[in-house]
Structure 1
Amino acid sequence: MAGGEGVAAATAAAEGSEPGKGGNYDGKCVFCRIARSEEPGTALLSSEYEDLACFRDCRPGAPHHYLVVPVEHMGNCKTLKKEHIPLVKRMMEVGKAVLHRNNFSDLNDVRMGFHWPPFCSISHLHLHVLAPASQLGFLSRLFYRINSYWFITEIKSLLSLHGGQFSGEQEIRVNSPFWILNIPSEEMARGLMKRTVCAKSIFELWGHGRSAGELYASLKSYPVDKMLPYLQSDSTYKIHIHTFNKTLTQAQKIKKIDALEFLPFKGKVNLKKPEHIFWILEDYGMDPNNVPEEPFHLYFGRWIADGQRELIESYSVKKRHFIGNTSMDACLSFIMANHGGVKPNDVVYDPFVGTGGLLISSAHFGAYVCGTDIDYNTIHGLGKATRKNQKWRGPDENIRANLRQYGLEKYYLDALVSDSSRPIWRKGMLFDAIITDPPYGIREATRRTGSQKETDKTAERSTENHIFVSSSYHLSDIFFDLLKFAAEHLVMGGRLVYWLPIYRPEYTEEIIPRHPCLKLISNCEQMLSSHTSRRLITMEKVKEFKYSSSQAPHGHVKSMLIISLGDGSLSEVTRRQ
């Protein structure tokens, strides 16, 4: 849903006014027409309340995907007030009832919710009811998961890095791969695309519409003076057509290109090395089993730049010299570096460095990198190999070798054997970003130095090759120490980016660890199973650290994490109060 109607319309709908009365009907609104059975292609399902209508989503994101809407036209969820709580509860009752009638009874595997503007397509309040949530496809998980729009968050971070701002004017179509973004300059657009691994390409938009007629009208209204620099007689150009979720014949493509003859192209066509490239983009929706004859939306624009998707392949873990059980996926590594706002000459630190996968993406962007880890063998490249058909690690398998492999060795500072619960850094040592993936205790153990027995022993001088005894390191302590360390050792405005494991049925935003010196910037979910996920947390230092108990990390709930151990059992970790 995008946009909204008046509060009066919302109130009338909540009070259950009779259909067709009070002026709460919008003939242009497809949901208004469906609710009154004026759309023969959409069948209404049974509803316990006369003022609510229920029907199947035309582009389902799950085996059961229904929409519940007020019969009277009502604005998006921004128009909801306290008095509308009963209305929302009744909408949820209708959703549960339709699932029950369709023999689905596991309410723990159901997802219900509204899309917050502008992440919605129709300006009529509608509740999405999806089940089973555990069977959502990859794209559906992107669109219907809570509070986790990866692409948006990455672009927000990059806009900030390049001096731009994300505003409410940005237009996002939820069931579409295309996004209209307002960017101050072409230079900034190119800067964004030099960093992003989420976006494929960026274009200067000349026109768009929901039909070919709307597109042509939009193009004719585009200022000619903005077109002319790219249409001169001494220039060359070509026009591409890209269709999402549909394949066109060559004859169909030529017909669509010929229809643009009203544009004042004066240059020569050059299909091999044109100076200017123009694209027609057509969106045929997300459902490959229900492709419409005509696109849902069309765009025409001038190509500016491509994103950095090729980095995912060129930095693939499969091709990396030194890897471990938990080496971070290349795509996620670059997303984390972008969330951290990493820029040239920054100093980036990973306190759980492992095989150094997160250092590589930061070094690619010109930052100097370093890290620590408690595992002596990993830091020194010793012990058993994790690669298939290889028993032991080779003599040159280490973090430095990985950076050398990509021509980034000059950005490598060092990697040290150290316990993150007992930082080795002096006071005043500041990093521009701390980017890390703490161990969860599932594939990698959570450890710190010290005996399991809490007994006082006289400290003894250690030899150079001495390896300390380690004990368990509870997850609550890991994140407590991590936030405290970040608050103390980040520069002002520096960012902490880390993964937080979550047991989804118990998740609320209140369990996200907080610190008075750190501001939560983003919180993105990556689903691991129907019950577990991990969240990419980005925080920014906004306050100077002072050595006092009043600036300790804190939380409001006791139960912090419940992690699946893989054998069906659960391990509960209690947060430090």
Structure 2
Amino acid sequence: MSDETSAQSTCHRDGYEGKCVFCKIVHKEIDTEFMYCDEELACFKDVKPGAPHHYLVIPTSHVGNCKSLKKEHIPLVEKMVEVGKKMLQQNNFTDLNDIRLGFHWPPFCSIAHLHLHVLAPASQMGFISRMFYRIDSYWFITEIKSLLALNGGQFTPEENFNEKGRTHEDLQASLNSYPMENMVPYLKPDSTYKINVYTFNKTVTHLDRIKRIDALEFLPFQGKVNLKNPENVFCLLEDYGSDPNSIPEEPVHIYFGRWIADGQRELIRSYSVKKRHFIGNTSMDAGLSFIMANHCKVKANDLVFDPFVGTGSLLVACSHFGSYVCGTDIDYNTIHGIGKASRKDQKWRGPDENIRANLRQYGAEKSYIDVLVSDASKTIWRPRELFDAIITDPPYGIRESTRKTGSQKEIIKPAEECGENHVPVSMAYHLSDIFTDLLNFAAKHLVMGGRLVYWLPVYRPEYSEEIIPKHPCLKLISNCEQTLSSHTARRLITMEKLKEFEEKDELAHLMDSKLSPYQGHNSFREKYFSGVTKKIAKEEANNTKNKD
């Protein structure tokens, strides 16, 4: 046997595919500069970059496209992701929240050799690149989605009969082109089914829902409709965007697919504030409370703290997952459930209206540690790592005032001269100071890897990522917007502790301009009400004009 034949035979035995471009690159038959190479993986720059950093990570042995991946490939995919991130960091790109990793789904992959696209920064990708590497499209899947699918077995997105479109006509065309062999299991004459219609960010009448179901009569269902106990449930979902102040007439996207399983949305109904024993004017609704708890990654036996606890809605959500909960608040009456009630038909709070009673209502009283009257600006805790998660909704000065103990006067009466029932003088607590104190508190008292989740109010015309509070011990994990009005919003900020707290870190916001708090937060109340004032003035002007 010749040396050439022997070499070819050896390469094939090692996973070499003679017609594969990437196999030829790995075996140096095509000249390419490697950024990384070991026995298992190789990494090099994409010849047609879609972002300032665009690398390809490939197995050195031939593996087919991502459709051929199976559960045993999980370690391979995880290492590909690890190498991709490592190469970004070695090339001075460290913001791993602004990257895109994923695979093209066949037939949209140009080379049938598994390759992970690593693009950064994702925020600087052009229009074409954003489309070409679009998250959750049917042509590009992220590495997270791929790994989740692999954990459950081979990934085949057609299996669950899902399609989407921008209009009902697009959806019909998409469904008509759907492979019939994948629909057969749900079209049997002896099967039963029903169709549910859901809308996001818009309410439609029962009659409109029926019209939408009737419009799907082109689907070749042969079974019988069974509304009570169907074998298959199909869902039509219309997405009207995320801005409640600007709801379009027509949906942004329309989705149709087979129902697989329920999430935990029933918790929103069962934990509804309307059904709760103890509530206040600022009680966080159940849906947002559970979202925050999920961002915190709370789990059984975690210790969770809320420094602006109010009526304890966030503690209720965290206790559902088995966490031990505690909190503080400066408002004595709220903490102890004293004073006027928030319900329309109730004048005064009852004797057992408090946070403990709320947890008792949901069978979670054992998770309740305690709540204390305390000023968030003056910590009462020993300097040590105490909490697995800190979750809070600080006051913005809209429905709840922002205040702390203290006085503008030069002479303050000593605490030891005050009586037992003394209520300390309070003063304004600026939002910029609230967030500085909150981040310092989290850096001191969170365990390593613990999370801080809080709401940040913003004036939308001034918003940029630079105004998000920063701390040397905390890393920003996510930043999500909830629109409040045309000009205001609040951002759900999730941060994770990655560095041990040092004394110098407490004053980092004074030493480093990049960590300085944004002073514009302090005028949020004025900016919020300026929009309301303008709206009222505009309505009054229109009314006057109509009368004339």
TM-score range normalised by the length of the shorter chain = 0.5 to 0.7
- The alignment status of 1:560 with 2:534, answered yes or no, reads no
- Structure 2: 5+ residue runs without aligned partners? 1-45, 52-118, 165-169, 200-208, 242-246, 533-548
| Residue of 478, 495, 507 corresponding to 1:522 | 478
Q: C-alpha separation between the residues in 1 aligned to 2:121 and 2:497?
A: 31
| Residue of 412, 415, 427 corresponding to 2:371 | 415
Percent identity between the two aligned chains:
55
- The alignment status of 1:370 with 2:326, answered yes or no, reads yes
The alpha-carbon deviation at position 337 of structure 1 amounts to 1.0
- The alignment status of 1:256 with 2:211, answered yes or no, reads no
The alpha-carbon deviation at position 452 of structure 1 amounts to 2.5
C-alpha deviations, 1:100-148, integer Å up to 9, x for none? xxxxxxxxxxxxxx9996269899xxxxxxxxxxxxxxxxxxxxxxxxx
What does residue range 65-214 of structure 1 map to in structure 2 within 5 Å?
118=134, 168=142, 183-185=149-151, 205-206=160-161, 208=163
* Paired AA for residue 432 in structure 2: S
Q: C-alpha separation between the residues in 2 aligned to 1:548 and 1:420?
A: 21
The 1:304–1:393 alpha-carbon spacing in structure 2 relative to 1, beyond 3 Å, is same
Match of 1:240 in 2: 194
Q: After alignment, is 404-413 or 385-394 more displaced?
A: 385-394
* Paired AA for residue 511 in structure 1: I
User: What RMSD in Å do the two structures reach over aligned CA positions?
Assistant: 4.7
C-alpha deviations, 1:61-94, integer Å up to 9, x for none? xxxxxxxxxxxxxxx9999989x9xxx9xxxxxx
The 1:389–1:280 alpha-carbon spacing in structure 2 relative to 1, beyond 3 Å, is closer
8 A contact 2:272–2:285 mirrored in 1: yes
The 1:459–1:167 alpha-carbon spacing in structure 2 relative to 1, beyond 3 Å, is farther
The alpha-carbon deviation at position 424 of structure 1 amounts to 1.0
| Residue of 421, 424, 430 corresponding to 1:468 | 424
What does residue range 319-468 of structure 1 map to in structure 2 within 5 Å?
319-455=275-411, 458-460=414-416, 464-468=420-424
Q: C-alpha separation between the residues in 1 aligned to 2:408 and 2:392?
A: 26
Q: C-alpha separation between the residues in 2 aligned to 1:118 and 1:251?
A: 32
- The alignment status of 1:277 with 2:232, answered yes or no, reads yes
8 A contact 2:299–2:323 mirrored in 1: yes
The alpha-carbon deviation at position 478 of structure 1 amounts to 0.9
Give SS of 2:358's match. Answer: helix
Q: C-alpha separation between the residues in 1 aligned to 2:422 and 2:158?
A: 58
Match of 1:131 in 2: none
Q: C-alpha separation between the residues in 1 aligned to 2:448 and 2:464?
A: 28
C-alpha deviations, 1:302-354, integer Å up to 9, x for none? x4311222222222222222222211122111111111111121111100111
Give SS of 2:314's match. Answer: helix
What does residue range 214-233 of structure 1 map to in structure 2 within 5 Å?
215=175, 218-220=178-180
* Paired AA for residue 256 in structure 1: L
Q: C-alpha separation between the residues in 1 aligned to 2:352 and 2:500?
A: 42
Q: C-alpha separation between the residues in 2 aligned to 1:534 and 1:288?
A: 22
Give SS of 1:568's match. Answer: helix
Q: C-alpha separation between the residues in 2 aligned to 1:459 and 1:308?
A: 49
Match of 1:57 in 2: none
The 1:181–1:385 alpha-carbon spacing in structure 2 relative to 1, beyond 3 Å, is farther
Q: C-alpha separation between the residues in 1 aligned to 2:463 and 2:161?
A: 44
Give SS of 2:486's match. Answer: coil
The 1:378–1:214 alpha-carbon spacing in structure 2 relative to 1, beyond 3 Å, is closer
The 1:115–1:550 alpha-carbon spacing in structure 2 relative to 1, beyond 3 Å, is farther
* Paired AA for residue 560 in structure 1: G
The alpha-carbon deviation at position 241 of structure 1 amounts to 2.9
Match of 1:505 in 2: 461
C-alpha deviations, 1:283-309, integer Å up to 9, x for none? 698898569xxx9877554x4311222
- The alignment status of 1:306 with 2:272, answered yes or no, reads no
Q: C-alpha separation between the residues in 2 aligned to 1:479 and 1:536?
A: 13
Give SS of 1:256's match. Answer: coil
Match of 2:79 in 1: none
How many pairs are equivalent? 391
* Paired AA for residue 168 in structure 1: T
* Paired AA for residue 311 in structure 1: L
* Paired AA for residue 501 in structure 1: P
C-alpha deviations, 1:229-268, integer Å up to 9, x for none? x999xxx963333456764588776762436x9xxxxxx9
- The alignment status of 1:485 with 2:444, answered yes or no, reads no
C-alpha deviations, 1:477-530, integer Å up to 9, x for none? 111110000011111111111111112222211111101111111111222222
The 1:372–1:215 alpha-carbon spacing in structure 2 relative to 1, beyond 3 Å, is same
User: Normalising by structure 1, what TM-score?
Assistant: 0.56
C-alpha deviations, 1:509-565, integer Å up to 9, x for none? 111110111111111122222222211111111111122247635635753313134
Q: After alignment, is 355-364 or 246-255 more displaced?
A: 246-255
* Paired AA for residue 478 in structure 2: S
| Residue of 491, 501, 516 corresponding to 1:535 | 491
Give SS of 1:486's match. Answer: helix
The 1:449–1:231 alpha-carbon spacing in structure 2 relative to 1, beyond 3 Å, is same
Which has more helix, going by share of residues? Answer: 2
The 1:528–1:116 alpha-carbon spacing in structure 2 relative to 1, beyond 3 Å, is farther
Give SS of 1:312's match. Answer: helix
Give SS of 1:397's match. Answer: coil
Q: Which has the higher contact order (CA 8 A, sep 6+)?
A: 1
* Paired AA for residue 564 in structure 1: R
What does residue range 45-84 of structure 1 map to in structure 2 within 5 Å?
none
Q: C-alpha separation between the residues in 1 aligned to 2:151 and 2:49?
A: 40
Match of 2:81 in 1: none
8 A contact 2:194–2:226 mirrored in 1: no
8 A contact 2:326–2:369 mirrored in 1: yes
8 A contact 2:479–2:494 mirrored in 1: yes
* Paired AA for residue 232 in structure 2: I
8 A contact 2:239–2:254 mirrored in 1: yes
* Paired AA for residue 515 in structure 2: G
8 A contact 1:350–1:371 mirrored in 2: yes
The alpha-carbon deviation at position 360 of structure 1 amounts to 0.8
The alpha-carbon deviation at position 390 of structure 1 amounts to 2.9
Q: C-alpha separation between the residues in 1 aligned to 2:369 and 2:402?
A: 25
8 A contact 1:207–1:216 mirrored in 2: no
8 A contact 2:479–2:493 mirrored in 1: yes
| Residue of 271, 275, 278 corresponding to 1:315 | 271
- Structure 1: 5+ residue runs without aligned partners? 11-75, 89-113, 124-165, 172-179, 190-201, 262-267, 571-577
C-alpha deviations, 1:158-215, integer Å up to 9, x for none? xxxxxxxx973689xxxxxxxx99534459x9xxxxxxxxxxxx99624647666764
User: Normalising by structure 2, what TM-score?
Assistant: 0.59
Q: C-alpha separation between the residues in 2 aligned to 1:441 and 1:380?
A: 22
